[in-house]
Structure 1
């Protein structure tokens, strides 16, 4: 069952602007978690909206799926964010959409489909640093469990909020160092963008 959040609670967090802009979509969880004062979001972040035609609601042109993020009541920044990108190029969109909710002390993870499977990078952007990693384990959740040395069996009995808390708590302590590259260097290094619809039955 999806947990949804009362507006007064989300309005007191760094998620408020993103919610007001209609960017926090398809939530598995968008509510308080087991940590006092913490709001968690697990769903999709709309990065780029399609032009509106009359009153027709159109899906976003660009999304960051498989998002896991937290925000604390009374704070203006998002301390933890993770998501999936089909192309490294979209890091710019994520950074610009998150904008003033980014912090130099935040932990931000992007799992990209078109970077070298043997590489892991740190990419400074918008006064924050993004950990950019290849996606090997099919989902951001599984990738984070592997990266943060969390045992899936230990989390199985937890609900969505409990799993999000466990991942976020471990992510906030993450201190590994990877090769630092600029966004422009990443654009030069990235591979072709896969068509996500190929090999699917019509």
Structure 2
């Protein structure tokens, strides 16, 4: 029987309608592993009749894998506009986060020269600045993965390669409390300014 999203912890997020804009939502090449690449809605807009509106807040460019039979996400990386949203992310993910998982958050409004470990909601997040690039490219740099090595792989294969490296990640960064992080974070950028309407 082939693995479905319902066999993993991603099933709940899917049922809640939180997994959006996916470029991958399928089993990867590793047995028992399900991969997701896309956005996770953290806060929905009020719905008017039947119209589907984009979420008010989401974690974008998410790369995540879940293993069959594990009640938590093994690996997740994503983009957050504001450090403060870590609390909302942890609340939405709930039991899908575990001290055993590896979670990387690239946050737009933290000091570009700093990297932190933040314990929140029973999980540890590696919180990193995003340097004008994508979560995927930032991860490749952080995990020392050569882009050329991934060229021949499909999306599921690339996701496996990144997840395997991420799961073995053992670097540590200075600890920062959530409260402290909120105090020192910079202003939240409006991603819609300077865009033609």
TM-score (norm 2): 0.96
Match of 1:74 among 61, 64, 69: 69
C-alpha RMSD of matched pairs (Å): 1.5
Q: Does 1:170 align with 2:165?
A: yes
Q: Secondary structure at the match of 1:199?
A: coil
Which consecutive residues of structure 2, in runs of 5 or more, have no partner in the other structure? Answer: none
Q: Secondary structure at the match of 1:179?
A: coil
Q: Distance in 2 between matches of 1:131 and 1:91?
A: 11
Deviation digits for residues 57-115 of structure 1 (CA, Å, limit 9, x no counterpart):
22211111100000011111101000001111111111111110111111000001110
Report 1:77-116 matches (<5 A).
Answer: 77-116=72-111
Q: How far is the alpha carbon of 1:137 from its aligned partner?
A: 4.8
Q: Decide whether the 8 Å contact of 1:39 with 1:71 is kept in 2.
A: yes
Q: Does 1:64 align with 2:56?
A: no
Deviation digits for residues 29-69 of structure 1 (CA, Å, limit 9, x no counterpart):
00000100100000000000111223332221111110000
1:124 corresponding residue in structure 2: 119
Q: Decide whether the 8 Å contact of 1:112 with 1:132 is kept in 2.
A: yes
Q: How far is the alpha carbon of 1:152 from its aligned partner?
A: 0.5
TM-score (norm 1): 0.94
Q: Distance in 2 between matches of 1:126 and 1:79?
A: 16
- Alpha carbons of 1:22 and 1:7: their partners in 2 closer, same or farther (altered >3 Å)? farther
2:188 corresponding residue in structure 1: 193
Q: Secondary structure at the match of 1:161?
A: helix
* Structure 1 range deviating more: 47-56 or 119-128: 47-56
* Structure 1 range deviating more: 158-167 or 55-64: 55-64
2:20 corresponding residue in structure 1: 25
1:47 corresponding residue in structure 2: 42
